[in-house]
Structure 1
């Protein structure tokens, strides 16, 4: 049996643990800050990744074959005001995990973000230069840099964008839209910001394959390019809700602390080729979710 350690029990961490528990070849370990009451039969270690000594000690103790770091501070506006904490979690935390993985020879998959880009062009490939325009993006870019500086071959950095699925852990953009439309409540959604939302169920399959096929380096794992507004319309269409409840608004009307990049759409052709997959369209993913919910 191989050992897999999932760090962080947010939306992606939760789905990863669920996935690995379905597979027979792995012993699963969870490293998380606090107990949310999930997976009570799985071995859990409660550690904050900003505690260098503790996180390294625990990973060394588990001695996993594969470590997946999903822990991050992802609230973009909060990162702007809580800069010290954001840097410790998103940059230094990633570095500590990378250092101990290198020391014990574990394969590491680290989750990063489309917000490392400035959003001026879109359709970004792995070769495009990064240029974050907010502090969240900066800390995630720093996390990537510190991992790359380790010069360790067994690291895969996966950039994602607006992850969505039905999650018991965290309300994501998709779930918020679905819930409001279901209750016949009007919503205002941004029409001038584009990205490539990442379907978490697909991402999890990809992360499993990354280790099985020993794929290292940088990968983009987005999906179909849409504005938030278009995404909301697709949700209404697939689930049969009233599209007129969705009102378009512009970014400048939002009371954000942090700047948001305009178009951070990710080109995921490299991931599709290396992992031998075809990423679903948003409609296909939503139809799959609809079946799950029935």
Structure 2
């Protein structure tokens, strides 16, 4: 299967790349060296398709900083909507399967947990744009998968950016205090579970939308408290604060936790145990610090 990955340098893109590259069934091609709007990306993509007989495109390109999207709506729309529409049109014209990485930001946060059939009601501009892109894909394509991974956590390599778990553990290992909000609930997804889901969707050519998450829905304060309990850090290092104390350009939804029934029944993937995963990550980070 000849696959073209768009945007493999981000966190999710890295997961996609590592997942697919391990499988001999997949022949991988990449485009990650252009910025949407700076070149004729349609020609670049079409040339890559023709040169490599591409059968599947995996799109990981996104402008995902929600505050920046609120400040620069034109660029957000260009990357998160216009680009995806062009991509969907290319896939339709050339009979190529599209796997598009979307977001839990398409949901409003009041009617949780969200299944694939839940109504989209985004509360910020980033979410609006992701919703418009999803809707267009569903309208023009038949052979597609929209993958919505919720907040992803897991072990990180030296040069990779932090996720909530690794960030909090690093702070706590240094004995630093952390202020954590008591809203913005999600049921985080382990990076290994995301990899398993993507592999299954690719190999079995599954279609439709897939909301991917773990089983435990928590706010950031609850997560921090859990990490202290599991790893043995003093609980007084974390302080509960209201999300209203953090002034942000973009509004955050209260709770976008997913109903992951489809993930379990269709993909047959059970989320990893959160406590065990946190302990594994802590042991890895502690070992790296001591060596």
| TM-score, scaled to structure 2 | 0.89
Superposed counterparts of 1:8-47, under 5 Å: 8=7, 9-32=9-32, 46-47=33-34
Deviation at 1:48, TM superposition (A): 3.0
1:280 aligns with 2:272: yes
Residue 207 of structure 1 is matched in structure 2 by 198
Deviation at 1:25, TM superposition (A): 2.0
The number of aligned residues is: 279
Task: Give the unaligned 5+ runs of structure 1.
Answer: 33-45
Residue 36 of structure 1 is matched in structure 2 by none
- SS of 1:266's partner is coil
Distance in 2 between the 1:169 and 1:61 partners?
Answer: 31
Work out whether residues 81 and 132 of structure 2, in 8 Å CA contact, stay in contact via their aligned partners in 1. Answer: yes
- SS of 2:151's partner is coil
Cα separation, partners in 2 of 1:100 and 1:289, compared to 1, 3 Å: farther
Work out whether residues 189 and 213 of structure 2, in 8 Å CA contact, stay in contact via their aligned partners in 1. Answer: yes
Task: Give the unaligned 5+ runs of structure 2.
Answer: none
Cα separation, partners in 2 of 1:183 and 1:102, compared to 1, 3 Å: same
Superposed counterparts of 1:164-203, under 5 Å: 164-167=153-156, 168-203=159-194
Distance in 1 between the 2:267 and 2:10 partners?
Answer: 24
What is the Cα-based RMSD across aligned positions, in Å? 1.9
Equivalent of 1:130 in 101, 120, 123? 120
Deviation at 1:88, TM superposition (A): 1.1
Work out whether residues 184 and 253 of structure 2, in 8 Å CA contact, stay in contact via their aligned partners in 1. Answer: yes
Distance in 2 between the 1:191 and 1:140 partners?
Answer: 26
Work out whether residues 107 and 211 of structure 1, in 8 Å CA contact, stay in contact via their aligned partners in 2. Answer: no
Cα separation, partners in 2 of 1:289 and 1:63, compared to 1, 3 Å: farther
| TM-score, scaled to structure 1 | 0.88
Superposed counterparts of 1:1-294, under 5 Å: 2-8=1-7, 9-32=9-32, 46-50=33-37, 51-150=41-140, 152-167=141-156, 168-223=159-214, 224-290=216-282, 293=285, 294=287
Deviates more, 1:170-179 or 1:113-122: 170-179
Distance in 1 between the 2:225 and 2:29 partners?
Answer: 39
Instruction: Describe the superposition over 1:157-192 as per-residue Cα deviations: whole angstroms up to 9, x where unpaired.
Output: 011221222333322222221221111111111112
Dislocated runs of 4+, deviation >4 Å: 290-294
